[in-house]
Amino acid sequence: MITRDIDAFLAFARDAAPDFGPATARAAFLVAPDGFALAEQSAQDNAYMADAAAFDAQRASMQHRNLHRAISTVLPTVCFAGDPATPDALFPNNVFGTAAGRCIIGRMRHPVRQREAIRSDIRGFFAEMLGRDEVDLSVQPHPCELTGALVIDRASGLGFCGLSERCDQAGARLMHDAFGLRATLLFDLAPGEYHTNVVLAVLAGRAAVVCPRGFADPAVPAAIAGLYAPHAVVCDDAEHAAFVGNCIALSADTVWMSANAGAALSATHRQALADAGFRVETVVLDAIEAAGGSLRCCIGEVY
């Protein structure tokens, strides 16, 4: 099922058993922020990006290394070299995704990011080292920026896909099929939002973090929060702006977000995550956040 009909999706989702696959990734991969700088093309539709003067390549590199070290405590994590010709490559989950037996390569909207998809080292890692079948969506015309646009409940096989310049309806269908999902809910993001994973996270299949202001139709975040109730965190504007929605569960008992997000997270919402069985872990990423993404954007998942 792939639909815009909220009621039809909920009727299906409520009966979806948590047996689709592992709720969290087996491993992770990163791409180093080598040549970290403002990507002017990406800035056209990413309102979270700072001005060029705010980019500090040395600090971003240090913070990225600290991120690698931190998440390696909970799951195996590899880091590929960056490339100054692809300044957004430190956000690899938009370009490379995985499902059982497959590596999926997305179609990026901007040419500066389309360059990332042709990397032979990352393709070879999945195809030759891990023996994954390649599903290459990068050569077709519809933008589909993988787990930036599509938030997935891996336990139940459910997708939540926000449409914007970074993903159209045809691209959403391609991703739904590539990831082999049971059901995907389509909806429009609010004007000015570029990726769903900035305003929504599904944590290990049992909790959700939702930023309602990021959705064009308020019925959509309300429905998603209801689906995961009582373990739903509904962010206020300050939490939204600090990237609380750009969090990720990397194990059954940890949810990771940036230090700025952790500082903005209210005590009530921190307790809500604890009630869902999650300990909040944070990493300082303010330099990286100048590029318009945060912790979850940096992490590619290996399922």
Chain segment 84-113, per-residue pLDDT in tens: 999 889 999 999 999 999 999 999 998 989
- Domain map of the chain by residue range? 2-302
113 compared with 66, residue with greater pLDDT:
66
Return the structure tokens found at 90. Answer: 């430190």
- What is the per-residue pLDDT across 255-273, written as a single tens digit (0 to 9) for each? 999 999 999 999 999 999 9
* Domain with residues 2-302, CATH architecture: 5-stranded Propeller (3.75)
Omega cis (within 30) before 230: yes
Provide mean pLDDT across the span 133-158: 98
- What is the pLDDT at residue 41? 72
